[in-house]
């Protein structure tokens, strides 16, 4: 398995990271179990150093606390990435807003350090640009945290090339995180895509929701699979007709998987890895069996034919939010 780097001077990490969000909210919450989640994270650390992805917003601090529990005594096995800039106004209804003011960023960084139980955050992302605060101000506050030794490197999430360049001129961008999977390919656009910007500027590109929020694994049979409150129960891509249309993408993945004796999840992750050496996907799971499946995707090499067939899969039906 060939390691990848978090930014040009970053630590080498396992090519596949672990997204921890679903351990606190988002998907099939009735099946959440903190003890199992801690075990999943610890198993990921066994394959470390590995990129662990969390955010202060996920479960309003719950997710960082969970990661902190798993990290106890295992700090060296993780590259810890967290984010700030999204406010959970109401946890019960998942009402969110944005606040990336310098004052709030400073406060949130201290709170994240406490919850994670680490001396410094390895990668600190601005979760979303706040339309009411100039990016240069938010990014300037984040750069101060690096100078203060609280943060090692900085990242952005869901930004344009222009926004990434604005930030980079102030302090190096080590990583950009955006949704990328076979059914969300915009980051690969040769003219506007953020993945190309990352490759050109020595940053890593971190695909989030690389499994299409589980859809691309072929595990789901219809919209009825999702309980009330699950993000996917109200998502346009998972609604009746869209669901059926999108299964054509899954069938294309399964054909490639059959050639390799691999799972569909492994094929979609290997497809993201094939987009460049600067790409480190962070599939999310709260189950050890899926973690093992996903980590093994780092060793799956797709052929030109496989990649051609996957690229030819139909575009998604339905918007991503």
Ligand X SMILES: NC(=O)c1ccc[n+]([C@@H]2O[C@H](COP(=O)([O-])OP(=O)(O)OC[C@H]3O[C@@H](n4cnc5c(N)ncnc54)[C@H](OP(=O)(O)O)[C@@H]3O)[C@@H](O)[C@H]2O)c1
Q: How far apart are CA 89 and CA 72, in angstroms?
A: 30
For residue 139, state whether it binds ligand X (rule: CB under 6 A). no
Considering beta carbons, is residue 57 or 109 the nearer one to ligand X?
57
- Residue 34 contacts residue 297 (beta carbons within 8 Å): no
Q: How far apart are CA 254 and CA 320, in angstroms?
A: 22
Centre a 10 Å sphere on the Cβ of residue 103 and count the other Cβ atoms it contains. 9
Name 228's Cβ contacts closer than 8 Å, sequence gap at least 6: none
- Residue 147 contacts residue 153 (beta carbons within 8 Å): no
Considering beta carbons, is residue 133 or 206 the nearer one to ligand X?
206
Stretch that binds ligand X, among 14-22, 115-123, 133-141, 246-254 (CB under 6 A): 14-22
Work out which of 25, 197, 271, 290 binds ligand X, going by CB under 6 A. Answer: 290
Question: Residues of 159-172 as b/e, b for ≥16 C-beta within 10 angstroms?
Answer: bebebbebbbeebb
| CA pseudo-torsion sign 217, 223, 228, 234 | positive
Work out which of 24, 99, 275, 294 binds ligand X, going by CB under 6 A. Answer: 294
Query: Which residues on neighbouring strands pair with residue 125, listed in sequence order?
Result: 83, 155
CB of 212 to ligand X, least distance (A): 6
Query: Which residues on neighbouring strands pair with residue 185, listed in sequence order?
Result: none
Window 270 to 289, contacts with ligand X (CB under 6 A): 282-287
Window 36 to 95, contacts with ligand X (CB under 6 A): 53
CB of 177 to ligand X, least distance (A): 5
Considering beta carbons, is residue 27 or 197 the nearer one to ligand X?
27
CB of 200 to ligand X, least distance (A): 21
Considering beta carbons, is residue 94 or 219 the nearer one to ligand X?
219
Window 179 to 208, contacts with ligand X (CB under 6 A): 208
Window 90 to 129, contacts with ligand X (CB under 6 A): none
Q: How many positions of this chain bind ligand X (CB under 6 A)? A: 29
Which string of x and - marks every residue 140-179 that binds ligand X (by CB under 6 A)? -----------------xx------------------x--
Query: Which residues on neighbouring strands pair with residue 5, listed in sequence order?
Result: 12
Work out which of 7, 155, 193, 214 binds ligand X, going by CB under 6 A. Answer: 214
SS3 readout for 133-197: CCHHHHHHHHHHHHHCCCEEEEEEECCCHHHHHHHHCCCCEEEEEEECECCECHHHCCCCCHHHH
Considering beta carbons, is residue 196 or 284 the nearer one to ligand X?
284
Stretch that binds ligand X, among 15-23, 101-109, 143-151, 249-257 (CB under 6 A): 15-23
58 labelled catalytic: yes
Considering beta carbons, is residue 81 or 113 the nearer one to ligand X?
81
Conformation bin of residue 221: beta by default, left when phi > 0, alpha when psi is -120 to 50: alpha
Query: Which residues on neighbouring strands pair with residue 206, listed in sequence order?
Result: 177
Active-site residue list: 58
Binding residues (CB under 6 A) for ligand X: these are 19-22, 27-28, 53, 157-158, 177, 208-214, 217, 219, 265, 282-287, 290, 293-294
């Amino acid at each position: 398995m060939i390691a990848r780097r978090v930014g040009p001077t970053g630590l080498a990490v396992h090519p596949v990271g672990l997204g921890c969000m679903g351990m606190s909210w988002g998907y099939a919450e009735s099946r959440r179990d903190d003890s199992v989640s801690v075990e999943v994270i610890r198993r990921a650390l066994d394959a470390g150093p590995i990129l662990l992805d969390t955010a202060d917003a996920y479960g309003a601090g719950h997710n960082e606390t969970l990661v902190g529990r798993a990290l106890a005594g295992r700090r060296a096995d993780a590259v810890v990435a967290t984010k700030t800039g999204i406010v959970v106004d109401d946890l019960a209804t998942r009402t969110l807003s944005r606040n990336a003011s310098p004052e709030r960023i400073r406060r949130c960084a201290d709170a994240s350090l406490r919850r994670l139980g680490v001396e410094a955050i390895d990668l600190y992302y601005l979760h979303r640009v706040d339309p009411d605060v100039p990016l240069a101000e938010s990014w300037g506050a984040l750069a101060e945290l690096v100078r203060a030794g609280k943060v090692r490197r900085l990242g952005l999430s869901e930004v344009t090339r222009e926004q990434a360049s604005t930030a980079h001129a102030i302090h190096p961008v080590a990583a950009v995180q955006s949704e990328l999977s076979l059914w969300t390919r915009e980051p690969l656009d040769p003219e506007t895509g953020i993945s190309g910007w990352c490759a050109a500027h020595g940053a890593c590109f971190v695909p989030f929701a690389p499994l299409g929020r589980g859809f691309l694994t072929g595990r789901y049979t219809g919209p009825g699979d999702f309980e009330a409150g699950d993000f996917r129960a109200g998502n346009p891509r998972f609604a009746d007709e869209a669901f059926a249309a999108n299964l054509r993408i899954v069938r294309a993945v399964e054909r490639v998987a059959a050639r390799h004796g691999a799972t569909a999840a492994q094929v979609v992750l290997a497809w993201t890895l094939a987009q460049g050496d600067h790409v480190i996907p962070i599939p999310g799971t709260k189950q050890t069996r899926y973690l093992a499946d996903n980590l093994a995707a780092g060793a799956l090499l797709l052929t030109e034919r496989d990649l051609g067939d996957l690229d030819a899969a139909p575009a998604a039906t339905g918007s991503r939010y």
